[in-house]
Amino acid sequence: MPLMQDIAFCLKPRCPVCREGRLFKPRSLTVVDECAVCGAKLGQNDVGDGASVFLTFIIGFSVMPLAWIFEKAFSPPAWVHGVVWSVYALGVILLLLPVIKAYIILLEYRHRPGGLGIKPGEAGQTQKGAEEKKPPRNKVPIE
Ligand SMILES: [Zn+2]
């Protein structure tokens, strides 16, 4: 059941190659340079702002209807909205940022051509090494 495995992977982020080594440095969301178990060069991966973009959408699309319902039900003063939704947004960020970042890394490993520069069974090789094996992209055969 791949979906359940993906969810388990995201809730406890591990190396996407061996599923045993840590994905993030302790108390951080920085990807480890190299998997301690299989030696995969995970530090070469860069998900950029991907996780933040998803979180922005999740928070934005959930806060507005919830705030509207909260306003209709309780009609609190504006400062209560400020406190409640700031705490909500911070909580969602703290809970989901590592989960989403781990999922993006897993998807990159699984679907990107040469994802993370590592193919199953080639753990420990570099992105550069993986690129050297690829044929040139822009070369058109001359007839
Ligand atoms: Zn590993």
Quote the distance between the C-alpha of residue 54 and its chain's center: 10
Provide the β-strand partners of residue 80: none
> Does residue 131 surpass a pLDDT of 50?
no
The pLDDT of residue 132 is 46
The pLDDT of residue 129 is 45
pLDDT band at 125 (very low <50, low <70, confident <90, very high): very low
Stronger pLDDT, 83 or 5, i.e. the higher one: 83
Distance 65 CA to ligand 1 centre (A): 41
Q: What are phi and psi of 31, to 5 degrees?
A: -70, 135
Distance 9 CA to ligand 1 centre (A): 13
Determine contact, residues 7/99, Cβ cutoff 8 Å: no
The pLDDT of residue 91 is 96
Helix ranges restricted to H, 23-114: 50-74, 78-111
The pLDDT of residue 50 is 86
On the 0-12 / 13-18 / 19+ scale of CB atoms within 10 A, 102 is buried
Distance 21 CA to ligand 1 centre (A): 5
Helix, strand or coil, per DSSP, at residue 24:
strand
Distance 95 CA to ligand 1 centre (A): 24
Please state, as a whole number, how many other Cβ atoms lie within 10 Å of the Cβ of residue 86: 11
Distance 17 CA to ligand 1 centre (A): 5
Question: Using CA atoms, how far apart are residues 94 and 90, in angstroms rounded to an integer?
Answer: 6
Please state, as a whole number, how many other Cβ atoms lie within 10 Å of the Cβ of residue 31: 22
Q: Which long-range contacts (CB under 8 A, 24 or more apart) does 68-72 make?
A: none
User: CB within 5 A of ion ligand 1: which residues?
Assistant: 15, 17-18, 21, 35, 37-38, 40
Tokens in use for 85? 């939704």
Distance 35 CA to ligand 1 centre (A): 5
Q: H or E segment at 128?
A: helix 127-133
Distance 53 CA to ligand 1 centre (A): 27
Distance 134 CA to ligand 1 centre (A): 23
